[in-house]
Chains A and B, each alone.
Chain A
Amino acid sequence: GESVGLHLPTLSVQEGDNSIINCAYSNSASDYFIWYKQESGKGPQFIIDIRSNMDKRQGQRVTVLLNKTVKHLSLQIAATQPGDSAVYFCARSGNTPLVFGKGTRLSVIA
């Protein structure tokens, strides 16, 4: 069935280190994956996306990796900063609107 799941509900990272947030999905029909960041008291904000015909996409300090063989998606944040503290959601889109995972809370330790 359609589902998007997360490996870890919380992640604590030292400031300056790299963060890796993982996500698994079960529906192979997904053609588009998106990462959102949600800060406390705010709505989810788009970070980066990747199409299913890609393996990797880079943005500013963020990289998304897609492994279709094992149906796994990851978000890598380089040189994590206090402002990166938030809940991160992976989402997939196919023929239906976005389906969101439960989210991973990233805490940055100064």
Chain B
Amino acid sequence: DAGVIQSPRHEVTEMGQEVTLRCKPISGHNSLFWYRQTMMRGLELLIYFNNNVPIDDSGMPEDRFSAKMPNASFSTLKIQPSEPRDSAVYFCASSLVGRGPSGNTIYFGEGSWLTVV
């Protein structure tokens, strides 16, 4: 079975440029999560979707960040404009939840390693 697939795996971009990270969740999963990982803050939840609907985006740092899930098999996280402090590993994860995103194992992708210079 294919796990959560993320692209790109690595990206180096200049400050001010737009960055788009992509995610394909595990087929059949109904919840999708975007996490950011840094040495200072650890793993932070940015936003999560249930049945393609954004449920909580309170973790999104600011208006420069946006996420979409146009269908059950695809999601994007966009940063525009990017800043050096956005440099981090961005993980997408998915799970199969009966009702709400609690109590079920979350499966992570391999991450997108972003460096903004």
B42, B91, B104: the one contacting A43 at CB < 8 Å is B91
Among B33, B43, B91, B107, the one with the most A-chain Cβ atoms within 10 Å of its Cβ is B43
Encode contact with B along A75-110: 1 for CB under 8 Å, 0 otherwise.
Answer: 000000000000001000111111111110000000
Encode contact with B along A29-40: 1 for CB under 8 Å, 0 otherwise.
Answer: 001101010000
Given A34-B105, A102-B42, verify A97-B33 contact (CB < 8 Å). Answer: yes
What's the dominant secondary structure at chain A's contact region? loop
Chain A residues close to B by CB (< 8 Å)? 31-32, 34, 36, 41-46, 49, 51, 89, 93-103
**What's the tally of chain B residues with a CB closer than 8 Å to chain A?**
22
Residue in B closest to A94 when the chains form the complex, CB atoms: B102
Inter-subunit contact A42/B110 (CB<8 Å):
yes
Please report which residues of chain B, range 84-117, place their CB below 8 angstroms from some CB of chain A when the two chains form the complex.
91, 93, 100-111
8 shortest interchain CB distances as A-B pairs: A43-B108, A100-B43, A102-B42, A32-B103, A97-B101, A44-B108, A93-B102, A43-B110
Residue in B closest to A97 when the chains form the complex, CB atoms: B101
Please report which residues of chain B, range 23-64, place their CB below 8 angstroms from some CB of chain A when the two chains form the complex.
33, 35, 42-43, 45, 48, 56
- B44 to chain A minimum Cβ distance, whole angstroms, is 8
- A49 to chain B minimum Cβ distance, whole angstroms, is 7
Inter-subunit contact A99/B42 (CB<8 Å):
no
Inter-subunit contact B106/A98 (CB<8 Å):
yes
Contact partners of B107 in chain A: CB under 8 A: 46
Residue in A closest to B89 when the chains form the complex, CB atoms: A43
Inter-subunit contact A101/B108 (CB<8 Å):
no
Given A32-B102, A100-B42, A101-B42, verify A45-B48 contact (CB < 8 Å). Answer: no
Residue in A closest to B31 when the chains form the complex, CB atoms: A97
A44 to B33, CA, bound (A): 13
